[in-house]
Structure formats: structure tokens, C-alpha cells
Structure 1
Amino acid sequence: MAHSLTSLAIFQGVNHKEMIRSLHVYGSVEIEREFLFERKGRYVEKKAKPLFCSEGLQRPEISLGLVFGTWRCIFLFRSNHSLPQFPTLLCPSRNPKLVDIPNLANVLKFISELKPKKPYFDQPKQLDLVVKEDRVGYGEVDQAKPQRFALKQDLNRLPDSESESEESEDDQNEHSESDAKTEILKKRRTPSQHVAGLCLEDLSKYFGVPIVEASRKLNVGLTVLKKKCREFGIPRWPHRKIKSLDSLIHDLQEEAEKQQEKNKAAAMVVAKKQKKLEREMRNIVERPFMEIQIETKRFRQDNFKKRHRASRAKKNQESLATSSST
């Protein structure tokens, strides 16, 4: 089956480095696998729940360094591209523990034994751009520019003692003011232990409110909260998605109550759809990087059009009533 391999993407857990996921593509067939790379024990293959192949989940174009939820792509092979470089963790010749997981080891061995192709100049530049961004984001720090000191003393004349004393007093005042500002900033700044102790469960309690309000309730700054979201693989604060689903569920509840009196079969269909939306909302709270399903987006659009037509019809009736009364 390895000979029909179209592509292979391997992801590592952002928070748990020992967790590894792989996405094998054989033509139109996609297979997901999950592994546990224990440092002091054997490598184990675990039962993988579908994540990248989830129904209705919009998956972005996979590229090296891509962060998908709490997973980061560390290896990417495509049959029509040049051979990728193997990290030490996934190199069959350098990591003998890969023998414990043959479903991944055999595929990696097959790729490593392929002959390198000639450079393909027409391939998209997206991969290079992502790699460059990844290098900057992980490890490289902008070096501080060297400070330039200006000499205030005129070398063509002797130093003036009075001017020197005035300058020294000004410098002391500037230093004292800057020290006072830094002390105020330190007092205002949230303790690093509190920020480090925040987990995904703490954040999920406030997914239903805007991010500004959530930052106040969590007692952290907005920038710190956004940085924490990036650590957990949350590209956007899911307040809007949850609010949208909540309003749809509320509309379905009202519709179910109306249909209960007229048509029980229709009411059951509405109740079933309501449960599906509630389940989707719970999934987004648990996995906030997920997008709203395509079917739900269509239903939301139809519901908006329905409400818009109803409001227009109501306005027309009111205008006709006022015109007839006059």
C-alpha cells in the first residue's frame, strides 16, 4: 500500500510533545493514525479519533509548520514534490524505536528509500513562506540595536562645572521618573505564575462572552490572553460562533413549541435538528479551533432570510393598516 502513497503529513502536539498524529493519503483514501512517543518506554499506536477528516470540518491547506488546533505539522511528504528533510525523531536510521510502530515506520522507510527528484521550479511558494515564518516564530529573537551614546561636552573648550552639575541632576531626575514608571508597570502586570497556570478549561468557561470581557474576568491583559490562545491553537476567540449557534438553537426551540400543537412529526424533526446544533456547540467549546459545519452555515443563512422576509411582511402590513385608517 505504501507504493500508492500520495502524501503523508505528521503532526506533533503543541502542548504534549510526545503525542504524534499522521495523515496518510492513498489517492482518494485518507487514514489518520495517532501514536505515543514515550521517552523512556516503547512507542505505542493508539486508537485515533478522526480530527483532520471530521465531517463538515474545514481543513486548511497543509504546509510545514502549520498549526491545526493543538497540533503542529513537523513533516510533510508529497509524491509530486521533492523529498523532504527528516527530523531526527522520524528518521528510521537514527531512531530505532520506530520499529515499535510498523504502520508509520514502514511508510517513513519507503519515503527515505525513494530517489530524489530534480528540483521542481513550478511548485507553489507557500511552503517556503511558512517555513520562514516558523523559523522566526520559534526560537529566533530580534537582536537589540546597539545604543549610541552622544558626547555632550564640547572638546574645543574646558568643561563647565555648573553645567555638569545641572546635567547630572537632570539625569538623576530622569532615572528616578523611569524607575517609578517601571514600578507602576510591575504592580499592574499580572503575575507570570497566574498566566502560566491558565489552562484550556479555564478559558472555555468564558467562550460565551467577548474576548475583552473574558480578559477582565480572567484577570489578564488582552494581549496576554491572545498569546495564550495561540499556545492552545485557537486562531480566533470562539464567542461569535457560539453566539450564532445559541441564537439558532433558541429559534428552533420556539419553532418546536409552535409545531408541537400543529404537527408532532414536524416538531420531532425540529427537536432532532436542535440536538444536533447543541452537540456541535459543545464540540466547539471542547475544540475551539473547529469551524461551524457547512450544513449549519446553510441553515443559518436560510433562517436569516426567513426572518428578514417575515419582518418585511410585517412592515408592509403595518403600512397598509395605517394607509387604510387614514
Structure 2
Amino acid sequence: MALSREEIARYYHIPISQATRKFNIGVSLLKRQCRKLGIKRWPSRKLISLQELINHFKAEHGDAQPQEYTREIITRLLKEKKKVEENPNYQLPKNIIQLRKRSFKARYKKRKSMGLKLAITNPREENEPTPLEIIYPTNEKDYEELDDSYDGDCDKQD
């Protein structure tokens, strides 16, 4: 089965395993066909990452009109996404990669601080154990006492 570059390009935005289901072929066969067409690596992760970055900058301002520099960033990201769609072997510029890293780090810190805020606003009850204490109890009452009077059959062999 020979696939054209245009047929394959329609599915760049989804993972390769899902794309193979659309073509009703195996992953190895699609990869082999991509290599014949000069596609070294399936570009879905790169495209998804760029789209998440675009969504991040759009969501940053909500319904309000984004500032000029934000519009420029979104426009540049859309251009880079288009270049990847046209040429899946396209290497993203270092400044876009750096922007992606910074954005990810900012979202991570925001999620982490939200978790701390939730922990502060929803304090545990005094006797309620933490999840770590449930896994590793620290008080002796949670442990079962072992009976030392075990008579194993192997001890009484004559």
C-alpha cells in the first residue's frame, strides 16, 4: 500500500498509533512509508505542543483583547506550526523551544501553588492521617502484633 505525502499529512496532528487506525495499517508499515517519503519522525507531539502553547497564550488574557506582544507571539507560533505541517522534519528555533520550556514551567508552578492553596484552605481534621501515613503508619497501634509461639512443622522433624 503506497500512501502519498498529502494523505499522511492530514493526520500529523494525531499520534501515530491513531493515524495507523485511520489508514487501517500497522505502525511499522506507516513508519516505513514515512521514511520513504523523507519524514524522519512523526510530528504529532511537536504540533500538539505548539497548539498547547498557543492555547496558553490565548487563555492568558481570557476574553480580553491580548496585548500587542502576545498577539505577535501567537502569530509567530501559528507560523511555526504551519512550517511543521508543511515539513515535519523542520527544527523549531531555539527561542520557540525556550518559550515552550518557560511556559511549561510557569504552568507547573501555578498548578503546584494551587495545590498548596487547596491544602491551606481545606485543613485536615486533627486525627485524620495523611496519605503518606496511611501507606507508612508511624504509630505502633496500626501494626499487628506477631505471635512468637509459632510452631512450624519443620522444627519438629525427627
What is the TM-score with the length of structure 2 in the denominator?
Answer: 0.72
**Structure with bigger gyration radius:** 1
The question of 1:288 aligning with 2:88 is answered yes
Q: Which amino acid aligns with 1:215?
A: T
How far apart, CA to CA, are the structure 1 residues paired with 2:23 and 2:37? 16
Shift of 1:257: 3.1
Q: Residue 257 of structure 1: SS of its match in structure 2? A: coil
How far apart, CA to CA, are the structure 2 residues paired with 1:308 and 1:258? 23
Q: Which one of 104, 119, 131 corresponds to residue 304 of structure 1?
A: 104
Q: Which one of 253, 259, 270 corresponds to residue 58 of structure 2?
A: 253
Question: What corresponds to 2:115 in structure 1?
Answer: 315
- Superposition RMSD on alpha carbons, in Å? 2.0
How far apart, CA to CA, are the structure 1 residues paired with 2:103 and 2:12? 24
Question: What corresponds to 2:38 in structure 1?
Answer: 233
Shift of 1:259: 5.8
Question: What corresponds to 1:271 in structure 2?
Answer: 71
How far apart, CA to CA, are the structure 2 residues paired with 1:291 and 1:312? 31
Shift of 1:230: 0.5
Structure with greater contact order relative to length (CA < 8 Å, sep ≥ 6): 2
Q: Residue 235 of structure 1: SS of its match in structure 2? A: coil
How far apart, CA to CA, are the structure 1 residues paired with 2:21 and 2:56? 31
* Contact 1:249–1:274 (8 Å) recurs in 2: yes
Shift of 1:271: 1.2
How far apart, CA to CA, are the structure 2 residues paired with 1:249 and 1:321? 32
More strand by share: 1
The question of 1:206 aligning with 2:6 is answered no
Question: What corresponds to 1:244 in structure 2?
Answer: 49
More helix by share: 2
Summarize the alignment of residues 130-145 of structure 1 with structure 2, pairs less than 5 Å apart. none
Shift of 1:258: 6.1
Change (3 A) 1:300 1:211: same
In structure 1, list runs of 5 or more residues that go unmatched. Answer: 1-194
Change (3 A) 1:325 1:204: same
1:5-61 superposed Cα distances (whole Å, 9 cap, x missing partner): xxxxxxxxxxxxxxxxxxxxxxxxxxxxxxxxxxxxxxxxxxxxxxxxxxxxxxxxx
Q: Which amino acid aligns with 2:4?
A: C
* Contact 1:248–1:300 (8 Å) recurs in 2: yes
1:79-117 superposed Cα distances (whole Å, 9 cap, x missing partner): xxxxxxxxxxxxxxxxxxxxxxxxxxxxxxxxxxxxxxx
In structure 2, list runs of 5 or more residues that go unmatched. Answer: 127-158
